[in-house]
Structure formats: C-alpha cells, structure tokens
C-alpha cells in the first residue's frame, strides 16, 4: 500500500482515514483518478495502447481531447455539478439537477456525450426534467455521474434510492435497462461504503444479470467497451472481480481501451469506496488539479453528511415530488 506524501492533505478535516469518510473520499477521488487516467487512452484499442504506452499506468493528459496532465472530463464534472445541486437543495431535486447540468453545458465543457447534450437541450426548450423513456438511452452517461446519489442516499430505503437514481438519470437518460445498471453501481458503492466485501459486490452484479441478462459479463473478455452500459459494466465487473486492490483493477480496466475514462470512473468510484482513500496511489492523486481534489473531498463529506445513515433518519435526502416517473 502506498502512503500519501506528507505535503498532500486530502483530508483537512482530520476525520479518521479508515472509516466511512475515507471510503467516501476514496470513491470520489477514485472516480476522478479513473477519469483522468482513462481519458488518455479513450477510444484506443488495447493493441494501440500497448504500442504507444506499454502498460498505461500514469496520468499523462493528452488523448483525443488533448487534455492537460491530470485534467478530468465530463464524468467527474457532471458528478460535481450533480453533487453541487444536491448540496444546495439538501436533496435530489430534478429541477435543480437539470439546472446544474444546463449551467455546466453553458461553460463549454471539454467533452459532452450526445445523449447528455440532447437531454439538456430538451430541458431548456420544455422545462421538463425527464426525457421520455427510450430503449436507446442505455448509454453510460447517467451511470458515470451517479456517485453523489450513492453518497447522499446511504442508509435510505430501497425505494428512495431507486427514486433518486431515476430522478438524476432521467434528466438525460431514460431506459429501464440503464436504470437497472446504474442502480446496481449505486448499491455496490453503498455496500462498499458500509464495509461490504468484494464478494458482496459480486452478489449484486449477479443479481443484476438475473434481472437483466444483457449485463452478463462472464463470456468473452470485454475489450474496447463502448458507451452502451452493459458493455461498459462488463469491462468494469471483469476488472473489479479479477483483482484485490485499487491500482491493479484500475490499470486493468483502462488498458482495455474503448470508453476508458468512463470505465475508469465507474470502477474508481466502486473500488475507492471498497478499499478507501489510502489505497489510491499517491502519484495519481498528486497528478489531479488540486481544485478538483478539494471539490471531490468537500462534496464527499457534505453528501455523506446529508445521508440518512449519517443523520440517523429516513427520508430526508430525496425529493419524490416526481415529474420523473414514467406516466
């Protein structure tokens, strides 16, 4: 295990590094690190990555987006926008989420997915906070930003967690298949935050496969995973369950290429929750923009602070006044 350099203080609050705070910060910084590491090789094949980098294991920037070293992309930025709206309202409120995404798009982000852009444009035109159900919306754009929901609904009842998932997802993505995959990622993060094991996470993945067989991940090796969520999660699950640490699992998933910043982001939030902040290599954390590190750690703490788990309450995080439910 790597020890953080003394100059690096991702935990200015002094909370214990082996408890819930460390896992929540690990999840948020795991997401950012996976996004930054994977973005360099996004849309490359494993063979192209090998030729160019050998094994890609350092945060270098570059890639098709010509990123600066340590720069993050829409996966982390949309998570921060969502988290900001939840912290401002004290709950997941579809209108506030849609406004936050719209403001983010106004800032001319370095990258934005087609389905995300279409959903935000529709909100601007109609004021509606949920797009109509569409089987083609099972892209990974809602899943890549789901972490703030996992944090703020920790300890809430299953219906409430599922409703919060739909509320944030349906602003841009609306399909039962996508909802099921994203909810499973949220439940994996929450299980890990509460001290669950890798085997517990595997049980959740198996339950998803039973409910939605498109998520089967035990066949051929997932390489060049695309933006379709079952493909994305196949690569994430295979890499996650094949390793016993954050670093090796992360290197495995991004070297599969394809939508590598997003597989890195999703694996990072789960693996960071499971193994905690101190399991993330210090050189990856150092490579991130310090402002992003601060936003991630502050949001992790704030969102956990809202959760029923932390507050010993039920039902205070999620707004169910629900224009997002399918009619």
Q: Which is nearer to Mn ion, 139 or 281 (CB)?
A: 139
Told to check if 74 binds Mn ion by CB under 5 A, we report yes
Residue nearest to Mn ion (CB): 73
- Burial of 236-265, coded b for 16+ CB within 10 Å and e otherwise, reads bbbbbbebeebbebbbbbbbbbbbbbbbbb
Q: Which is nearer to Mn ion, 31 or 183 (CB)?
A: 31
Told to check if 231 binds Mn ion by CB under 5 A, we report no
Give the nearest distance from C-beta 78 to Mn ion in angstroms: 9
Told to check if 77 binds Mn ion by CB under 5 A, we report no
Told to check if 73 binds Mn ion by CB under 5 A, we report yes
Give the nearest distance from C-beta 143 to Mn ion in angstroms: 11
The region of 65-73, 122-130, 233-241, 271-279 touching Mn ion under the rule CB under 5 A is 65-73
The region of 2-10, 69-77, 164-172, 197-205 touching Mn ion under the rule CB under 5 A is 69-77
Q: Which is nearer to Mn ion, 78 or 151 (CB)?
A: 78
- With contact defined as beta carbons under 8 Å apart, do 277 and 9 qualify? no
Q: Which is nearer to Mn ion, 188 or 235 (CB)?
A: 235
For residue 177, give the nearest of 139, 128, 120 by alpha carbon: 139
* CA distances, 212 to each of 22, 133, 230 (Å): 32, 17, 9
Site for Mn ion in 149-208 (CB under 5 A): none
For residue 184, give the nearest of 225, 136, 230 by alpha carbon: 230
Q: Which is nearer to Mn ion, 156 or 236 (CB)?
A: 236
Q: Which is nearer to Mn ion, 73 or 190 (CB)?
A: 73
Largest CA distance in the chain: 54
Site for Mn ion in 258-287 (CB under 5 A): 259, 261-262
Q: Which is nearer to Mn ion, 74 or 252 (CB)?
A: 74
- With contact defined as beta carbons under 8 Å apart, do 320 and 311 qualify? no
Give the nearest distance from C-beta 262 to Mn ion in angstroms: 4
How many residues form the binding site for Mn ion (CB under 5 A)?
Answer: 6
Give the nearest distance from C-beta 87 to Mn ion in angstroms: 22
Q: Is the C-alpha dihedral spanning 137, 119, 75, 306 positive or negative?
A: negative
Gap between the Cα atoms of 282 and 189, Å rounded: 22
List the one residue from 11, 71, 75, 155 that touches Mn ion (CB under 5 A): 75
Burial class (CB in 10 A: 0-12, 13-18, 19+), 202: middle
Binding to Mn ion by CB under 5 A, coded x per residue (else -) over 241-260, reads ------------------x-
- With contact defined as beta carbons under 8 Å apart, do 208 and 215 qualify? yes
Helix (H) or strand (E) holding 57: none
Told to check if 129 binds Mn ion by CB under 5 A, we report no
Give the nearest distance from C-beta 42 to Mn ion in angstroms: 6
Give the nearest distance from C-beta 312 to Mn ion in angstroms: 36
Q: Which is nearer to Mn ion, 182 or 262 (CB)?
A: 262
Give DSSP secondary structure letters for 185-243.
HHHHHHHHHTT--HHHHHHHHHHHHHH-GGG--SSS---S--SBHHHHHHHHHHHHHT-
The residues of the shown chain that bind Mn ion, judged by CB under 5 A, are 73-75, 259, 261-262
């Amino acid at each position: 295990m790597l020890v953080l350099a003394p100059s690096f203080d991702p935990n200015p609050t002094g909370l214990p590094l082996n408890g819930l705070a460390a896992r929540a910060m690990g999840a948020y910084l795991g997401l950012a690190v996976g996004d930054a590491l994977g973005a360099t090789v996004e849309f490359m094949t494993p063979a192209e990555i090998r030729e160019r980098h050998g094994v890609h294991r350092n945060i270098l920037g570059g890639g098709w987006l010509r990123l600066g070293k340590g720069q993050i992309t829409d996966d982390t930025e949309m998570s921060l926008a969502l988290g900001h709206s939840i912290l401002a309202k004290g709950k997941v409120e579809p209108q506030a989420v849609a406004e936050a995404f719209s403001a983010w798009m106004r800032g001319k982000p370095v990258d934005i997915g087609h389905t995300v852009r279409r959903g935000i444009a529709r909100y601007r035109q109609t004021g509606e906070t949920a797009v109509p159900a569409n089987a083609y919306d099972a892209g990974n754009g809602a899943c890549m930003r789901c972490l703030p929901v996992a944090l703020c609904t920790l300890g809430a009842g299953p219906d409430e967690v599922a409703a919060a998932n739909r509320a944030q997802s349906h602003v841009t993505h609306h399909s039962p298949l996508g909802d099921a995959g994203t909810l499973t990622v949220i439940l994996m993060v929450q299980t890990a935050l509460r001290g669950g094991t890798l085997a517990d996470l595997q049980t959740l993945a198996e339950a998803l496969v039973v409910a939605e067989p498109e998520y089967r991940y035990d066949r051929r090796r997932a390489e060049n995973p695309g933006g379709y969520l079952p493909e994305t999660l196949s690569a994430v699950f295979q890499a996650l369950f094949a390793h016993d640490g954050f670093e090796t699992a992360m290197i495995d998933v991004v070297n599969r290429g394809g939508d590598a910043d997003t597989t890195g982001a999703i694996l990072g939030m789960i693996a960071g929750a499971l193994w905690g902040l101190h399991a993330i290599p210090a050189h990856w954390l150092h490579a991130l923009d310090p402002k992003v590190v601060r936003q991630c750690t502050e949001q992790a703490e704030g969102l956990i602070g809202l959760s029923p788990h932390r507050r010993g309450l039920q039902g205070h995080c999620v707004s169910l006044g629900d224009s997002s439910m399918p009619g």
